[in-house]
Structure 1
């Protein structure tokens, strides 16, 4: 039995040696993909940190509130303010795509804000039976002012929300300070306004390794994700080889030989598992040794290599099972190759390789739970980012192995049914 398994393994190696294009797809393309995607994502991240987005700022108020807003925007590391526009020219420049956004502060914003706040504070103080300035209460309440925000129609909705939240926060803080100051004036207190800071603040607690904080980076996300994509891409050459065996008559000789069909499948499994391990090691090597020369963070696998290899083996089994099923069902290479490539891309999209699962619609988040790529990706992330052990990823490993068994079982059943006499 072992000899038959060995001969089946050798047969698969010979098939791969004759298919140079398949070897290129299996090893070279994933390496190019991981380098390209990681460089793009990391450079985008650095650009957001290191450069400023030019935005148009028009100050029609030219008073305290508008100056405070302008000061906050200038202190922000994200924006570069452009002031040589009027509202009409700013609107044209933004809507034509020349600039991403414009902020227009209306006239008399400070004056009307002060007037409204004073009136409201006086009413509140008067309700407590305290004396107020009778002349001040005669002021008319001004209509609320709108700060106009213009966005390029092609601007990302996330960027819009971020900017609007920042502007709202600035205005809210300015209003609060003015309200507090107005109460001080009405009540005659002399407490220093600068001493009244927020009573509640936010502090992010991050995992630590020793005394150093462990901060996730683009490499830690991309290496496991695209390693998994590369592993599942073996579906293409594996299914093509199975179709070739049927068209060239090899499968007929396998069926009439005394070797059970499952030995044939096991031979393919061991062959492509070795390929999966080589793919994984190449990806890790790129992350550890090549990325630092590209000004990217090095991929840290210290103390995690064994667990990562275990995940790779189980992910490889799932990919091999899917490839075997596809190659068994397909009748021609024209069926197996495009369907295999497309299905891998779909599984990657559903599984969270392209877009994080939490950003998907609720229905798609439920669908993602049925993607073997999602199981493998969660297992990789648990080890790399959450410092989990083998015991913590047992569910994902069991699902990947069950997927392999199910795919192979369906393949054997289909093959026997098709060739039953």
Structure 2
């Protein structure tokens, strides 16, 4: 008998959804548009695409060894397209007006003054050891340090600025090191090969492997789970609106006086919207697997992970449904539930790391993110997709999502009984 009542409650929810076909289409279509758009925009962040070079202005007033080395390094980076038909004033105007991201200006006599500076310091060091020998020269005042001017568009991202400045510093440091080695060789009269180009310490990135191939994270692996989660939580809006409609149309009154327990109506909504969540997830995965390769994007790999991903989707769907039930129970009008539901989902997405990675947030917001159900779901997805975890590895996140559902539904039932107590 209870199963029959649950079935009838499920049919009622389907009939309610059929009356708002436009809203259901938006629930499915909007996330698909978001995932395609955002992934295309962010793809260059995860891989360096040929032909996607950033145009920057390069002005060489030195025209000698150091400036040529810097120019060669920038060109070999395959990141920048160098524009050279500017002077410093026109470059400054072009960058500050937003026409270009940045300009690099190499000063006059950079190579000459650098050589003189190094020679002067090396002579001082060698002289202090009494090793002047035949190579000793008359000491001259060391020239002042030279400045390479970097102009950035005021709207340029701070991370991009730091990256470029670190790269230029690294290039100049390596050039100075080579010249210092060479100066010591000249002063000491040695012909030993000091292997100038070999670093004593280097970095090697160790990545997860699948067979013999390195597994490199890409934009698809980050965006499919993130925007799937956003889509799942967006069902808060239609769910809360339907609950408010039931109150305004008297449906909730008939439900209360019927012999069917109120929690059965909640379970009917839960099963209905869980089906919607699964459909959303399958659509997102289908886009990642079949559509993205035609858009020159990596295919979404779910091999051996589908069961775990569906499990996370079910638990994330429960958390979203619980939140929607709570909002629809507390709200009195659609004007309250609709905007608050949409805004709260965006806020939860921002807090949970959908828009900005949690590690980039201030410390206080990183703490707040730990209490966001979207963050639990996102971490569970990432653990499976990027860290190859099993169900055991995401048990904590699944438990949090389930507890969130139970807590919100319990509060909703308690609030509903209190409001309608005679």
Render the CA deviation track for 1:74-107: whole Å, top value 9, x for unaligned: 3221222222222222222222222222211222
CA RMSD of aligned residues (A): 1.7
* Deviation for aligned residue 1:285: 1.4
> Relative to structure 2, which stretch is displaced further, 398-407 or 24-33?
24-33
**Matched-pair contact (CA < 8 Å) for 2:53–2:80:** yes
**Matched-pair contact (CA < 8 Å) for 1:125–1:132:** no
The 1:100–1:39 alpha-carbon spacing in structure 2 relative to 1, beyond 3 Å, is closer
* Deviation for aligned residue 1:288: 1.3
* Deviation for aligned residue 1:362: 1.5
Render the CA deviation track for 1:291-322: whole Å, top value 9, x for unaligned: 22222221111111111111011000000000
The 1:361–1:104 alpha-carbon spacing in structure 2 relative to 1, beyond 3 Å, is same
* Deviation for aligned residue 1:228: 0.6
* Deviation for aligned residue 1:383: 0.4
The 1:213–1:384 alpha-carbon spacing in structure 2 relative to 1, beyond 3 Å, is same
Aligned equivalents of 1:54 and 1:4: distance in 2? Answer: 66
Length-normalised TM-score, structure 1? 0.96
**Matched-pair contact (CA < 8 Å) for 1:350–1:371:** yes
* Deviation for aligned residue 1:110: 1.7
Render the CA deviation track for 1:92-147: whole Å, top value 9, x for unaligned: 22222222222112222222211221121122222223234586242111111111
Aligned equivalents of 1:46 and 1:305: distance in 2? Answer: 26
* Deviation for aligned residue 1:166: 1.1
**Matched-pair contact (CA < 8 Å) for 2:244–2:331:** yes
* Deviation for aligned residue 1:195: 5.4
1:133 aligns to 2:129 (yes or no): no
The 1:368–1:390 alpha-carbon spacing in structure 2 relative to 1, beyond 3 Å, is same
The answer for unaligned runs of 5 or more in structure 1 is: none
**Matched-pair contact (CA < 8 Å) for 1:119–1:136:** no
Length-normalised TM-score, structure 2? 0.96
Aligned equivalents of 1:312 and 1:53: distance in 2? Answer: 39
**Matched-pair contact (CA < 8 Å) for 2:135–2:187:** no
* Deviation for aligned residue 1:197: 0.8
The answer for unaligned runs of 5 or more in structure 2 is: none
Q: Residues 25-174 of structure 1: matches in 2 within 5 Å?
A: 25-42=26-43, 49-132=50-133, 136-174=137-175
* Matched residue SS, 1:98: coil
- State the match for 2:393 in structure 1: 392
Render the CA deviation track for 1:351-402: whole Å, top value 9, x for unaligned: 1111111111211111111110000000001001110000000100000001
* Deviation for aligned residue 1:45: 5.8
**Matched-pair contact (CA < 8 Å) for 1:5–1:263:** yes
**Matched-pair contact (CA < 8 Å) for 1:119–1:137:** no
- Count of residue correspondences: 421
Aligned equivalents of 2:295 and 2:74: distance in 1? Answer: 33
* Deviation for aligned residue 1:328: 0.2
Render the CA deviation track for 1:317-350: whole Å, top value 9, x for unaligned: 0000000000000001111111111111110111
The 1:290–1:81 alpha-carbon spacing in structure 2 relative to 1, beyond 3 Å, is closer
* Deviation for aligned residue 1:266: 1.0
* Deviation for aligned residue 1:191: 1.9
> Relative to structure 2, which stretch is displaced further, 39-48 or 112-121?
39-48
**Matched-pair contact (CA < 8 Å) for 2:120–2:140:** yes
The 1:290–1:75 alpha-carbon spacing in structure 2 relative to 1, beyond 3 Å, is closer
* Deviation for aligned residue 1:69: 1.6
Aligned equivalents of 2:205 and 2:46: distance in 1? Answer: 20
Aligned equivalents of 1:74 and 1:295: distance in 2? Answer: 25
**Matched-pair contact (CA < 8 Å) for 2:123–2:132:** no
* Deviation for aligned residue 1:167: 0.8
> Relative to structure 2, which stretch is displaced further, 327-336 or 110-119?
110-119
